[in-house]
Amino acid sequence: MKNTASIVAAIAAAIALPAAMVVPAFGQAYPVKTVRVIVPHPPGGPGDVPPRGIAQALAQKLGQPFVIENREGADGLIGAEACMKAAPDGYTVCATSAGVIQVNPALRREPTYDLSRFTAIVHTGTLQQLMLANPATPGNTMKEVFAAAKAKPGSITVGTFGGINLASLFVGWTKAELGLEFYPIPYKSASQGVQASMAGDVNIVSFAAGPGAKMVQSGKMKALAISPRRSSVIPEVPGLREAGVGFDFNTWWGWFAPLGVPRDVVRRLNVEIAALIAEPQFNAKFFASQGLVTDEPAGAASDAFEKFIKAETDEFQKLARLLGLKPQ
């Protein structure tokens, strides 16, 4: 009876605790030391600003430093490999994009990593991209640009950069599906391509919707389409599929850990980051400002993120087969 009374008293005391003192059962001991967040992208921009904001907020909330480590280079391979090879204890994680975690391994003959070597933590947003054109480019809509390209094959140039991106897929898809010849011109970065387009050196480029919309509003560029769908950022611009293009290459972002990381760590980070995404002021400062939209599955449970990745990988593989993209 004495033991029963003690148990009842303990339960009653727990129930009486103020709500603010109740903490989730998972991961209560995590973290107990510095967490390294590998970002396989250069400082600034949509690949760096959101994880940097999240890291600062997590450090304040959880009481341990979350240190951003930019490990750009080789299309993100360097940072991804460093994350994959780290101890699966939750003290090294990475924040990166579909291009690094999904596309790169699929297009390498002997990939040094793949999705099976990572644990998905949380989806943190999709980068809206505009298909922009220099004002002197023939046509003000995608269909008008298609007509101009058909009338004079190879006369309209498209700035591409890095490996696989919206602009390079656009060139490939229009040739495979519509028989149109756009002339690709490679640049080292999207920013360089945009500068070249504004200078009149190239007709079409793709760029993040946030800063891209400002260029359109100032008259420096015109918008042909937005991917993946219409946006309040520039609502008059049709989505890529509305404009007659049969794909919407989604550049999504998320947090990952090495395979084998404890599930309670995954749940803890998932819940904490999801709460930040849902906070309007935080979202506006670190996500919307970078052209990222955080509708579903951003902030969803990790298993929903895993299902999303599987579906996206299947879609990309179909597109890769259509375009004849071969592992290199």
At residue 14, the pLDDT reads: 36
Answer yes or no: is 210 within a domain: yes
One domain, residues 39 and 120? yes
One domain, residues 183 and 44? no
Answer yes or no: is 13 within a domain: no
Answer yes or no: is 37 within a domain: yes
Residue 11: both structure tokens together: 């339960």
> Domain holding 158: CATH number?
3.40.190.10
One domain, residues 149 and 103? no
Domain with 261, as residue range(s), is 33-127+250-323
One domain, residues 141 and 111? no
At residue 27, the pLDDT reads: 43
Helix axes 263-278, 302-323, angle to 10 degrees: 80
Of 262, 221, 247, the residue nearest 317 (C-alpha): 247
Low-confidence ranges of the chain (pLDDT < 70): 1-28, 162-163, 327-328
Instruction: Answer yes or no: are the C-beta atoms of 198 and 219 closer than 8 Å.
Output: no
Answer yes or no: is 2 within a domain: no
Answer yes or no: is 160 within a domain: yes
At residue 34, the pLDDT reads: 98
Contacts of 106 (CB under 8 A, 6+ apart): 313, 316, 317, 320, 327
Which of 194, 227, 260 is where one domain is finished?
227
One domain, residues 141 and 218? yes
At residue 327, the pLDDT reads: 67
CA distance 172 to 323: 6
One domain, residues 154 and 87? no
Instruction: Answer yes or no: are the C-beta atoms of 152 and 236 closer than 8 Å.
Output: no
Dihedrals φ, ψ of 148, to 5°?
Answer: -65, -40
Answer yes or no: is 187 within a domain: yes
One domain, residues 135 and 201? yes
Q: What is the identity of the amino acid at 280?
A: P
Convert 153-191 to b/e letters by CB count within 10 Å (16 or more is b): eeebbbbbbeebbbbbbbbbbbeeeeebebeebebeebe
Instruction: Answer yes or no: are the C-beta atoms of 290 and 210 closer than 8 Å.
Output: yes
Answer yes or no: is 241 within a domain: no
At residue 163, the pLDDT reads: 64
One domain, residues 218 and 133? yes
Inter-residue long-range contacts of 312-318, CB under 8 Å, 24+ positions, other chains counted: 312/98, 312/102, 312/250, 312/252, 313/102, 313/106, 313/115, 315/247, 316/102, 316/103, 316/106, 317/106
Split into its structural domains, the chain has a count of 2
pLDDT tens figures, 32-67: 999 999 999 989 888 999 999 999 999 999 999 999
One domain, residues 223 and 133? yes
At residue 162, the pLDDT reads: 64
Contacts of 320 (CB under 8 A, 6+ apart): 106, 107
One domain, residues 76 and 143? no
Instruction: Answer yes or no: are the C-beta atoms of 227 and 52 closer than 8 Å.
Output: no
CA distance 93 to 87: 10
At residue 120, the pLDDT reads: 97
Q: What is the pTM of this model?
A: 0.79
What is the end-to-end Cα distance of the chain in Å, rounded?
73
One domain, residues 86 and 141? no
> Domain holding 266: CATH number?
3.40.190.150
One domain, residues 88 and 219? no
**β-bridge mates for residue 207, sequence order:** 130
Answer yes or no: is 240 within a domain: no
Which of 170, 196, 227 is where one domain is finished?
227
CA angle 8, 12, 13 (to 5 degrees): 120
CA distance 298 to 277: 8
